[in-house]
């Protein structure tokens, strides 16, 4: 995918007329490297005062805010017990030590001597209050499906689970807020910056000495406006960095000279199957559908290359990704056509359900339908608004649906297969597969077994994982290494393995 993005970046840069005969352009940090002709370079600029976008009419409470433009600021203001890097490793931040019970059902977390921006120390009570608030959050609530209890025991935070998990820290990159400010629009955090009116200001008393990719003393916040206004402000040098989501309705291309990064979003696009469908009750047809989806075309045409095509339901950067298994399924429409013929079906009709409020997803659904029709299936796209889409899902009024969900960093699929799970539509709930999902959470070495089962069942047809595109002016952020939900990712020179011990947690119940 980086090769696709690099080629697209090269075209964009050439279109802006960069024809000066200067020294070759070398992207800073981990920016995408353009293919093709060498581009001129500019002098490295310094971060004296930066300008970042936000929406002044939105709440900047990280528990409630869902806008990715606003959320880009949160990595500078807030910290979690952990952060998650690009390799899906949990990186300790506010957590100084972890004790995990041998049965993987309980965890105890000891805190760093961290302080909020008002100088008060972070306590276990703050962490417990923040996690309990996150349980009700539209951003973080899905992470708590296997968390039974959160409590303070002495100076430790203790979490008890309903199912074993070896990777609970991956779910704990949740911002820790001062308890008495939870629910306010700009609660205090422990990060290197704090809100000061329409500015972010760097703390002079920050509790840790981490190397952060932003060094400016002041960051001015600029009204983002609509996507076109955001692009125009960046190209006019009125913004230092912008985060965009190629594939969102209203996305606009950037044309000027810039550096470009990619950041994981966790958004998973897939086709869901109704097993009660007369046609799709046949396993051979369900399995054959996987060969009839041109994922590379979808990623390139509708998501500008900022998506990773997948045939198994796991992010390709995740350690449980099985490349050999994924390579077993490639775009091969003839296989699906042969399967339709073998099943003895004559002009089988399918209804493909999609939420029409997402214009890009609607166009993707139509593209998928057109491809399936070339394989001998007759597909009608049923485009409904969000409420109608949800009702049709719950009532089973479809054969296929095009869904999008944000998978947690541990790649938990249990919501698909649990009886009455939040993603368990179309009679796909299955006790055996659900058990395999739980086995993977307990030990990701079981992932391939689970993914084989998912492919064999054919009731979730992965399409792609989406990414954000981050634009900056050249040379401004040489140390930027964006990670999942963290544009300005940084660590504290410690690893989870260094602070993790196995042992009893709390009292035996």
Give the count of domains, the chain: 2
How many Cβ atoms from other residues are within 10 Å of residue 462's Cβ?
Answer: 23
Distances, alpha carbon 385 to alpha carbons 350, 369, 390, 392, in Å: 19, 19, 9, 10
The pLDDT profile of the chain, 509 residues, written as one tens digit per residue, is 443 344 344 444 433 333 333 444 455 556 665 444 444 445 445 667 899 999 999 999 999 999 999 999 999 999 999 999 999 999 999 999 999 999 999 999 999 999 999 999 999 999 999 999 999 999 999 999 999 999 999 999 999 999 999 999 999 999 999 999 999 999 999 999 999 999 999 999 999 989 999 999 999 999 999 999 999 999 999 999 999 999 998 898 888 778 999 999 999 999 999 999 999 988 889 989 999 999 999 999 999 999 999 999 999 999 999 999 999 999 999 999 988 888 777 778 999 999 999 999 999 999 999 999 999 899 999 999 999 999 999 999 999 999 999 999 999 999 999 999 999 999 999 999 999 999 999 999 999 999 999 999 999 999 999 999 999 998 899 999 999 989 999 999 899 999 999 999 975 43
Residues 220 and 283 in one domain: no
Quick one: 333 and 248 in the same domain? no
How would DSSP label each residue in 281-310?
TSHHHHHHHGGG--HHHHHHHHHTT-EEE-
| 311 and 253 within one domain | no
pLDDT at residue number 1: 45
189 and 206 part of one domain: yes
| Residues 330 and 188 occupy one common structural domain | no
Please give the residue range of the domain that contains residue 441. Answer: 266-466
Residue 499 is predicted with a pLDDT of 96
Mark whether 447 and 322 lie in a shared domain: yes
pLDDT value, residue 38: 47
Tell whether 78 is covered by a domain.
yes
Taking the C-alpha atoms of residue 144 and residue 126, their distance in angstroms, rounded to an integer, is 18
- Asked if the structure places residue 507 within a domain, the reply is no
Same domain, 230 and 377: no
Is 20 contained in some domain? Answer: no
Strands 82-84 and 90-92, bridge-based pairing:
antiparallel
CATH number of the domain where residue 319 is located: 3.10.105.10
Determine the longest span between alpha carbons in the chain, in angstroms: 73
Q: For residue 80, what pLDDT is reported?
A: 98
What pLDDT score was predicted for residue 36? 44
Its pTM stands at 0.91
Say if residues 73 and 53 touch (Cβ distance below 8 Å): no
- Where do the H-state alpha helices sit in 110-262? 124-135, 227-235
> Do residues 478 and 447 both lie within one domain?
no
pLDDT at 234: 94
Residue 348's pLDDT is 81
Residues 311 and 334 in one domain: yes
Note whether residue 22 is domain-resident.
Answer: no
- Integer-rounded Cα radius of gyration of the chain: 24
435 lies in a domain? Answer: yes
| Rounded Cα gap, residues 234 and 469, in angstroms | 14
Are residue 156 and residue 197 in the same domain, yes or no?
Answer: yes
| % helix, strand, coil for the chain, step of 5 | 30, 25, 50
Tokens for 190? 């422990």
Distances, alpha carbon 102 to alpha carbons 359, 418, 503, in Å:
48, 25, 6
Structural domain includes residue 227: yes
Contact status, residue 267 vs residue 418, Cβ threshold 8 Å: no
Structure-token match 């349980």, residue found: 135
CB atoms closer than 10 angstroms to residue 386 = 11
Q: What was the pLDDT predicted at 29?
A: 54
Specify if 19 maps to a domain: no
- Measured distance CA(253)–CA(437) in Å, rounded: 39
208 vs 74: CA distance, rounded Å: 17
Round to whole Å and give the CA distance between 264 and 281.
35
Q: Mapping DSSP to helix (H, G, I), strand (E, B) and coil, where does residue 377 land?
A: coil
pLDDT computed for residue 209 by the predictor: 87
Residues 252, 219, single domain; the answer is: yes
Residue 264 phi/psi, 5-degree rounding, is -65, 140
Supply φ then ψ for residue 350, to 5 degrees. Answer: -130, 145
Q: CATH number, domain at 477?
A: 3.40.190.10
- Whether residue 234 lies inside any domain: the answer is yes
Let me know whether 81 and 142 are in one domain.
yes
Question: Which tokens belong to 233?
Answer: 């402000």
Residue keyed to tokens 């609970």: 168
């Amino acid at each position: 995918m980086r090769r696709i993005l690099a080629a697209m970046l090269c075209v964009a840069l050439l279109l802006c007329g960069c024809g000066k005969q200067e020294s070759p352009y070398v992207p800073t940090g981990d920016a995408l490297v353009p293919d093709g002709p060498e581009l001129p370079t500019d002098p490295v600029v310094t971060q004296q005062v930066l300008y970042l976008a936000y929406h002044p009419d939105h709440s900047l409470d990280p528990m409630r805010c869902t806008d990715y433009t606003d959320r880009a600021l949160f990595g500078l203001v807030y910290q979690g017990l952990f952060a998650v890097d690009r390799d899906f490793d949990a990186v300790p931040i506010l957590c100084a030590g972890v004790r995990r019970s041998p049965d993987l059902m309980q965890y105890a977390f000891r805190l760093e001597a961290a302080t909020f921006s008002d100088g008060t120390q972070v306590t276990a009570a703050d962490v417990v209050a923040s996690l309990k608030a996150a349980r009700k959050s539209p951003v973080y609530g899905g992470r708590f499906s296997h968390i039974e209890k959160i409590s303070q025991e002495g100076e430790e935070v203790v979490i008890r689970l309903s199912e074993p998990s070896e990777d609970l820290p991956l779910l704990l990159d949740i911002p820790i807020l001062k308890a008495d400010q939870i629910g306010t629009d700009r609660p205090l955090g422990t990060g290197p910056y704090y809100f000061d009116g329409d500015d972010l200001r760097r703390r002079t008393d920050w509790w840790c000495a981490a190397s952060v990719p932003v060094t400016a003393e002041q960051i001015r916040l600029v009204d983002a406006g609509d996507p076109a206004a955001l692009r125009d402000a960046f190209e006019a040098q009125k913004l230092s960095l912008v985060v965009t989501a190629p594939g969102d309705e209203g996305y606009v291309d950037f044309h000027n000279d810039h550096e470009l990064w990619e950041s994981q979003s966790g958004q998973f696009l897939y086709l869901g199957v109704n097993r009660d469908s007369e046609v799709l009750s046949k396993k051979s047809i369900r399995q054959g559908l996987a060969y009839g989806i041109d994922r590379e075309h979808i990623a390139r045409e509708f998501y500008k290359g900022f998506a990773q095509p997948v045939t198994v339901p796991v992010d390709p950067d995740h350690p449980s990704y099985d490349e050999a298994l994924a390579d077993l399924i490639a775009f091969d429409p003839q296989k699906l056509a042969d399967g339709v013929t073998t099943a003895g079906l004559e002009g089988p009709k399918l209804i493909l359900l999609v939420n029409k409020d997402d214009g890009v997803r609607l166009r993707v659904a139509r593209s998928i339908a057109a491809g399936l029709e070339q394989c001998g299936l007759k597909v009608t796209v049923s485009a409904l608004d969000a409420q109608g889409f949800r009702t049709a899902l719950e009532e089973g009024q479809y054969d296929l649906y095009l869904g999008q969900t944000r998978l947690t960093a541990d790649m938990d699929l249990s919501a698909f297969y649990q009886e009455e799970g939040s993603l368990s539509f179309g009679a796909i709930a299955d006790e055996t597969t659900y058990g395999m999902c739980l086995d993977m959470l307990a030990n990701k070495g079981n992932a391939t077994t689970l993914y084989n089962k998912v492919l064999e069942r054919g009731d979730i047809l992965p399409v792609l994982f989406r990414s954000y595109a981050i634009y900056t002016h050249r040379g401004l952020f040489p140390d930027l290494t964006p990670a999942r939900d963290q544009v300005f990712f940084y660590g504290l020179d410690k690893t989870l393995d260094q602070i993790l011990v196995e042992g009893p947690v709390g009292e035996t119940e």
